[in-house]
Structure 1
Amino acid sequence: MRRLSAAGSQRGFSLLEMLVAFSIMAFSLAMIYRVSGGTARSAGELEHYQQAALLAESVLNLRDTVPPSGWNGRGDSAGFRWEVRSTPFPTPISGPNVPSLHEVSVTVLWSEGTAVKRYDLLTLRPQARPVPGGRLP
């Protein structure tokens, strides 16, 4: 009769090896789900920032010039709140053909979950000049 040694009769994996392999697989899947979920979340945030930038540019394009009294306004659009403000911008150059400048700030706010997100756009715009007859264009 032939006798097999203990080392030669073992086939397959032990229970401990199976548990370790299963744990590694579960951890790897959890990390894959977390990364793909973070990517989807980031894509959604990027879309909101893109919409906010388009809204800020649209508000800015409402006027080519700023009235001498300044430009202040606010509004709502598709879940976004916007506000525009201007302040005179000092320049070292002056003269009859040099327009006065205003620093125009457009701020767009929106809510994402419990956080309030913000997008700011700053630019310079010339002050409107009166046309003959005393009216602004």
Structure 2
Amino acid sequence: MTRRRCAHRFSRGFSLLELLVAVAVMGLALTLLYQVDAGAVRGVADHAAQHRAGVLARSILDARDAVPADGWHEAGDDGGFAWRVSSVPWPTPPGLDATAPALHEVVVSVQWPGRGTAPHALELRTLLPQSRPLPGESPR
């Protein structure tokens, strides 16, 4: 009869201490899962903003197929993205055919606010030909 009482006494359920430990472990696990999920959402938002900045920079470059003789200098703001275009003449290599158009290095910079103190930035560089003067115009 003593054996039955002992076995019955230990199988009554969880103690209060065991429940508190289980709840604490579950709380820690849920906190870690929440942080991982929030980090993934932030990463997706950062990637989407960087993609939008790239699309904006490419669309600005696609707006022109040549650079004026005095260069291309422009700036603007589009949906929270500040952009700037600047160009400098590219040195002509020696021995190049004189009929070849002059080239300009075009730099498109796009900036957007980040979560921290420093803004995010994207920069595209390419070479574009200098526009030729229209018939009847004098070259600069």
- Name the TM tier (shorter chain): 0.7 to 0.9
- Cα drift, residue 97 of structure 1: 2.7
Q: How many residues align?
A: 135
> Secondary structure, in 3 states, of the residue corresponding to 1:112?
coil
TM-score (ref. length: structure 2)? 0.83
Instruction: Show structure 1 runs of 5+ residues with no match.
Output: none
Query: Does residue 1:130 correspond to 2:133, yes or no?
Result: yes
- TM-score scaled by structure 1? 0.84
Q: Does 1:117 align with 2:124?
A: no
Helix, strand or coil: the match of 1:108?
strand
The runs of 4+ residues in structure 1 deviating greater than 4 Å are none
State how far apart, in whole Å, the 2-side matches of 1:4 and 1:115 are: 71
Aligned to 1:10: 10
What is the CA-CA distance between 1:62 and the residue it aligns to?
A: 1.8
Deviation at 1:23, TM superposition (A): 2.1
Please report how far the alpha carbon of residue 119 of structure 1 lies from its aligned counterpart in structure 2 after TM superposition. 1.2
Deviation at 1:5, TM superposition (A): 7.8
1:15-94 aligned at under 5 Å gives the runs: 15-92=16-93, 93-94=95-96
Q: Percent identity?
A: 41
For residues 92 and 63 of structure 2, what CA distance do their matches in structure 1 show? 24
Q: Deviation of residue 122 (structure 1)?
A: 0.9
State how far apart, in whole Å, the 2-side matches of 1:130 and 1:25 are. Answer: 73
Corresponding position of 1:107: 109
Listed as ranges, the gaps of 5+ residues in structure 2 are: none
Looking at structure 2, the residues matched to 33 and 127 of structure 1 have their Cα atoms a distance apart, in angstroms, of 54
Q: 1:16, CA displacement in angstroms? A: 3.5
